[in-house]
Structure 1
C-alpha cells in the first residue's frame, strides 16, 4: 500500500514562488543586516557584561590580621602616647617658667614689690651694729667647762679679796693691814719658814703683799721684810737677790724659783706658796721638775 505525502496547499506554494516587491525586498535586507549585526555584537556584549559584573561584584574579603600584629600595633600606640606626653609636658613647663627666669631685674623687683605690698603692713628695722654683733658672736667657739670653772674661781677670789680689804680697813684707820708680830728669834732659814707657815690659809690676791691677801712674790717679800731683808715684788728680782744652790742642798726656807712663780721650799719635794686666783697659802707637792733653788 502506497503512502501518500501530504502536500502544501497550492495557495502557499504559489505565494512563495511569487516575486517580491521592492518594499518587501528592502524589508528583508534590513532584517538580514540587523540579524548580522546582532550576531557580531553578541561576543562583545558578553564580554562587556562579564566585565561589568566583575566590576560590580563585591571584592573578596581578606583574612583578618593576626593577633600578634594587632597586639604590636596597640603597643606602639601606647608607647607613642607616652612619648608625646614626655615631650610635650616638659616643654609646656619650660615655656611657663622661661618668662620669669629671663625677666629683667627691674621687672622682677617690681613684681615682688607688688606681691609683698599689703595694706597696714608693719615694718621692723634692724640696726647694722646688731647684725654685725650677731655674726661676730657666731664665730666664737663654745665655752669649755674648764673656762667656766676658772671664771667662777676668779670671781670667788675677787670677792674674798674684797672682804679681806674691808676687814683690814676696819682694823686699821690708815687702811693698811697690821703687820704680824716681829719674830723673837734671829734670822735663819728655819725661822723664816716658821714665820711663813703662820700665813697658811691667807687668800690669793693678785698684787697682794699683806696678810689681807698675797700673791706668790708678795708673800715672800712680806715674810723676809719682817727680818729686815728688802726684796723686790717680782719673781725674777727675788731670784737675782739670792744665790742659786743645788736642789740636793735645799732646806725649808729657801726659795723655789719657777717660770713666773716662786715660793718657800717646805722639804721632801713640797712647796709653801700663794698659788693662784681662788686659792690660798698652803703647802703642796712641787708639780714640775723645771725649777731651781735660791738661798737668800
Structure 2
C-alpha cells in the first residue's frame, strides 16, 4: 500500500477524498493520528522479531560447551592408554621371571650326544725361529749354487765358440796399426753378445773380458780385471775423451762412446750395448800413450 509521502495538514475534521488520488488513505475523523501511526508501525518488522535469534545463539553456545565437556576427557584418556598398556607391572615381571626359571629347571635347553660320537684330539701348533747364523748359512748356500750355475753356463758357452781367442789374436793381431777410432769400430761389432760372468769370447762377455778381447786384436795384452785394466795407460780429462778410450769406475770398465755414453757388458740378463754412464764416480783412461 502506498502512503502519501507529503500528506495534507490534518486538523481532525472530515475531509473529502479525491478519487483521482488513489494513493491517499481515508482516515476517520474520530480516530486520532496516534492510532494510525501505531497501525502503520505494527505492519513493519519490529525489534522484538530478533529475540528468537538471540535465544538460538545461546543454545548453540550451550551445546558446544556440552560437547567439549564430553569429548576432551575422552581424547585425553585415549592418548594416555598406550603408555599405560606398554608399562609392565610388577606382576608381569614376576610372572616372566618365574616362567624362565621353570624352563631352566625343566631342562628345556639340555643337549644329548650319541655315545658313538668321539671327541677329536686337539693338537697345539708348534713354531720355530731361524737364527741369524742359519740365515747367513742359507744365503751362502744360495750364492754358491748361483756361482756354480754361472760357471756351468760359462763353460758351455765358451766351449761352444770355435773362433779365435784373445791369446790367438795376441799371437797374430789383425790390426797392427793402433788407432782409437779403429778400436771403437771393432768393439761395436759385438753389440748384442750376452753377458756371461768370466766370459772373454763372443760366446759371452763380462766387462773386462770384452775390453781384453778387443784390445788383443791390436796386439795389446790386458789382464782379465777391470781394476788392473784401469791402472794401465794414462788418465786424461773427460772433455778430451774420444770413442775408443776407456771409461773406468769402481769394479767396472767399458769403451767411451761419446756424449756421456758407454759401450759395455753391463750385467747378467742385459746384452752388450751402448747406454748412459750410470756410475756416480768415473774417469777416462787412454791406452797407447
TM-score, length of structure 1 as denominator length: 0.45
Choose 1 or 2 for highest CA Rg.
1
